Structure 1
């Protein structure tokens, strides 16, 4: 174990012998740090935090601090990180609000500088948060989602798998899998590049695009569009969209950008 002499490491921390801890880092009691982790200078790992293996924590990051929630009563709650995550400078990740609740990150996530993960959030695997990206409490983010710089996501919002959220966006409603969010909670299309990079075929991507057009550009209600999709023997990706929209939601489902439905329904004479 390599611990810089200026680091402060509590005697009650459980640290693998292969961990490296840099100058002026602080590791509190009841922290577990797995094999191969590197803790850079001035990083702070608060109590009730567990880091899996091979995580890289950059300078000034704070993991496991108390939630920014007036309902917090000071009881034990937790932060759990999986393996191979990169946490860049001044990222903050807060522990759960209610007793024994958790904030959870999966594996291979990349949280860029100054991004924030609020209490009770759950991030899947290979999630990317760009610089200044802010997640409020109880947000769920699916695998392989990319949330761009200085975007904000309202509490209890769900972001589906392989979604792309543009920089500076404000997402206050749920964004279904494979979709692109932009502006003020607008669903503006599918994440075609992300789907292609994930190895999905042109046919699968075309069917996701057709599902988007039916849901967002046809003028149908979500209920009617979902019924029509279910009758069409959807592929696994479209079924994932259906299941996401039908699942319980506290925020509702993001809609199309203003005017998108009316524009899609124009005749050639209108244009």
Structure 2
């Protein structure tokens, strides 16, 4: 049996691994599934069709799986899926998806999510993401792996933040943020390459040089976007070690529907 505090209310239909711990006064709904080693703090509410993986730590007063803050939502059976080994701090709110999108709000694994973070309906958050206090994702936002989002930052609906990017404190993200870049401000501006983060992840000197060259082509040579994309495409042949990074950048730029931060 899971370790459930006597004051917690757990619906009999909820699926809890025997190694789950539920704190005092928490409420767990009938469609919730929680994996081994996950600890739910006191005064949490986990509802809706919410699946939580292994070894997560969810602090007090979190609200996970509530219905979307979307007037179009009409009770459809949408989901929230959370991966493994996440830390979710106090007063975080993650909502279910909607049928206007894929119907699933998804948070990956190994994320560090600080207090008061809001992840709205249909957001797709990758792995190893850090979101500081009061960062807010509006609906349908996509956040790549290893992204850092500074505190008090707001991300507009349907924006994308590419892998390894960093968004500074109190920023207004109203354009797609390309991979590897550092952005901040309101209006949003690109400040450079996230070199500190990339070095911490053991990017080689060759890869770093190629990423810096992509930054120059996008932001320092007054090229129109199509010309910058063409020039970036040539880098893969010049630096085969960085071909994966070039491909990631090209895929991001070519699929941007909202325009990139420039």
- Shorter-chain TM-score bucket reads over 0.9
Residue 42 of structure 1: aligned partner: 43
> What is aligned with 2:254?
246
- The answer for the alignment partner of 1:3 in structure 2 is 4
Counterpart secondary structure, 1:231: helix
Equivalent position SS for 1:29: coil
Q: Does 1:223 align with 2:230?
A: no
CA shift, 1:167, in A, is: 0.4
Please, what is the CA RMSD of the aligned residues?
A: 1.2
Could you tell me which runs of 5 or more consecutive residues in structure 1 were left unpaired when the two chains were aligned.
256-271
> Mean Cα displacement is larger for which, 200-209 or 110-119?
200-209
Partner residue in 2 for 1:106: 108
> Given the alignment of the two structures, is residue 205 of structure 1 paired with residue 208 of structure 2, yes or no?
yes
1:20-79: CA deviation from partner (whole Å, max 9, x where unpaired): 111000001110000001000001101200000111110000000011111111111100
TM-score, normalising length: structure 1:
0.91
- 1:119 matched to which residue of 2? 121
> How do 1:20-35 and structure 2 match up within 5 A?
20-35=21-36
Pair 1:189 & 2:192 matched: yes
The 5-angstrom pairing of residues 162-173 of structure 1 reads 162-173=164-175
Q: CA separation in 2, counterparts of 1:27 and 1:141?
A: 28
After superposition, where does 1:128-139 map in structure 2 within 5 Å? 128-139=130-141
Unaligned runs of 5+ in 2: none
Q: Which residue of 2 aligns with 1:268?
A: none
Shift of 1:252: 1.1
What SS is found at the alignment partner of 1:103?
Answer: strand
Provide the aligned length of Structure 1 versus Structure 2.
254
Contact 2:175 2:260 in 1 (8 A): yes
Q: Provide the secondary structure at the position in 2 that maps to 1:189.
A: strand
Cross-structure match for 1:258: none
* Secondary structure, aligned partner of 1:83: coil
**1: CA distance, partners of 2:189 / 2:199:** 22
Aligned partner of 1:148 in structure 2 is: 150
Alpha-carbon separation, structure 2, partners of 1:96 and 1:250: 21
Maintained 8 Å contact 2:253/2:260: yes
Normalized against structure 2, the TM-score is what?
A: 0.94
